[in-house]
Each structure stands twice: as C-alpha cells, then as structure tokens.
C-alpha cells in the first residue's frame, strides 16, 4: 500500500504552482484537491524601464521564484550581472532561465538565511536592486539599507485574493466535512490567511480542526490567531519535496501510534 494512501490534502497554492506538488503527493498515494487561496499576476509596469542601466547595481536580489518568473525580462539576457536569490527554489528558477547566481544561502530559504551571508554584512556605497512582489515583506530592503546599501525595488508581481467558483468552495467544504481531506497546506502566510478569508464560517471551523502542513515557524505564528486545534506538520521549507517528506514523517508517526 502506498505511504499516503487514505490521506487527503487540500493544496492551496496558486493554480500555476500547484501541479508539481499534487503530482508528488499523488505518487505517494495521497488524494489531492486544489483550492487556490491567492492569485499571482504580473504588475502592469513589470519591465520597470525607469531603472536605467542595470550595470549600476552591484547586486540584484530576486526574493522568490515568482520574482524570477515575472522579473527575469528585466535582465534582458545580460549574463554579466551579479545576482542573489533568497533560497534554492529561487536560485533554481534563475538557473533554468539561464542565469548564474552569485549569492544563495548555504542553508535555509528565507530572508533571514540570505542576510546571514557574510558577503552582505558591509554594504556601504553599494547599490542593490530588489526584484519582488508588491506589498511583500519589508525586512530585506530595510536591513540591507541599514547595512549601508542604496536600495531600489522593482515590483514585478502582485498577490490578490482568489475568487473560487461557489461549486469548488462547496466541494472543498464537503471534502473536509466528510473526512476525505484531513490536511491543508500553507506555504506562505498570505496563503493561509487567504484561505480563511475566502472560507465561509462553517468551513473555517473545519479548517481549524484539520492538520496543517506548514512551511515555516513564521507561518505557524502568523496563523496562531485562528486557534488551530491540531499540532501543525512543519516542513523544512516550502519546496515540494520538503512538504511531501514532512507529510510522510507525520503519516509514519500516526501509523505507529
């Protein structure tokens, strides 16, 4: 019998990012149901022509794989620029687009991990461009500026609340109520909060009684106000393989209890 046979997972990533995770889960025997909690779209000004010659930047930092997806055209096929990535998924996206990454965290996948790189300790006189989503975390830019960098930003994508079809929302609620779905994913705080925002009150109660597969302690803390009743399943990162690995460990523990 497959390791995740009998486990149902509500996958809440944006539609274009859900397929690889669903395939990995299904390969282990899980049932998956997609209900995107947020949508990702390009900003109207994503080419940011006002940035001028990118050679003037000592470092260009991509904060996510979405930043690469929507912001790679900024680089205009220039291979001589110094690039940094917040984590391995972002670095991989840049590599797949044909770019070499100079700085990527040796461990971890978040802002704090990147900031721990000693090459970013002293930045006085350096110009840094952050390629990011609109209204994202401000910590990276603020800390780079505190370390002396002149920081500019290019907001190349934006998040918006998903608007699921009523039938899809009803189907997800019934799957939770019947027990066919026991696990809910949250690979970002925006996604977790977005799911609660779109769910009607009876569904929110079902969500609070589900197991949550969560990608970081920061997301766990951010969702604390919803009073989740079960101990979250904490993955090492938001990478698909880490999410599946965490669920496999949880299932093995549950089965042996």
Assess whether the region 8-37+162-256 and the region 41-160 belong to the same CATH fold. Answer: yes
What confidence score (pLDDT) does residue 76 get?
Answer: 87
How far, in Å, are 69, 121, 178, 215, 232 from residue 201 at the CA level? 35, 47, 17, 25, 21
pTM: 0.88
The second-level CATH assignment, the architecture, of 8-37+162-256 is 3-Layer(aba) Sandwich (3.40)
Domain ranges of the chain: 8-37+162-256, 41-160
What confidence score (pLDDT) does residue 171 get?
Answer: 97
* pLDDT averages per 10-residue partition of the chain, 257 residues: 94 93 97 96 69 92 94 91 94 95 88 93 96 88 97 93 95 98 96 96 97 95 95 94 97 77
Dig out the tokens for 53 from the structure.
């010659």
What confidence score (pLDDT) does residue 136 get?
Answer: 76
Cβ contact 22:12 at 8 Å: no
CATH of domain 41-160: 3.40.50.10090
Q: Which residues pair with 127 in a beta bridge?
A: 150
What confidence score (pLDDT) does residue 246 get?
Answer: 97
What confidence score (pLDDT) does residue 106 get?
Answer: 83
Beta strands 38-42; 150-161: pairing state: antiparallel
What confidence score (pLDDT) does residue 257 get?
Answer: 52
What confidence score (pLDDT) does residue 48 get?
Answer: 54
Q: Torsion over CA of 191, 12, 110 and 210, rounded to 10 degrees?
A: 80
What confidence score (pLDDT) does residue 16 get?
Answer: 83
């Amino acid at each position: 019998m497959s390791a995740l046979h009998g486990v149902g997972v509500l996958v809440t990533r944006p539609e274009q990012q859900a397929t690889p995770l669903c395939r990995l889960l299904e390969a282990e025997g899980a049932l998956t149901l997609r209900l995107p909690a947020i949508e990702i779209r390009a900003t109207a000004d994503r080419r940011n022509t006002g940035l001028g010659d990118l050679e003037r930047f000592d470092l260009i930092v991509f904060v996510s794989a979405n930043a690469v997806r929507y912001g790679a055209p900024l680089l205009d096929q220039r291979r001589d620029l110094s690039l940094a990535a917040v984590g391995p998924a972002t670095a991989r996206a840049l590599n797949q687009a044909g770019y070499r990454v100079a700085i990527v965290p040796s461990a971890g996948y978040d802002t704090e991990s990147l900031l721990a790189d000693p090459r970013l300790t002293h930045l006085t006189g350096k110009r840094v461009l952050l390629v990011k989503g609109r209204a994202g975390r401000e910590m990276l830019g603020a800390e780079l500026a505190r370390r002396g960098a002149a920081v500019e930003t290019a907001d190349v994508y934006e998040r918006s609340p998903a608007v699921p079809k009523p039938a899809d929302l009803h189907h997800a609620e019934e799957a939770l109520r019947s027990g066919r779905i026991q696990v809910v994913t949250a690979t970002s705080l925006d996604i977790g909060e977005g799911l609660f925002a779109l769910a009607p009150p009876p569904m929110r109660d079902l969500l609070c009684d589900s197991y949550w597969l969560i990608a970081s302690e920061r997301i766990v803390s951010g969702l604390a106000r919803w009073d989740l009743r079960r101990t979250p399943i904490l993955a090492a990162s938001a990478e698909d393989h880490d999410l599946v690995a965490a669920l496999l460990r949880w299932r093995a523990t549950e089965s042996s209890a």
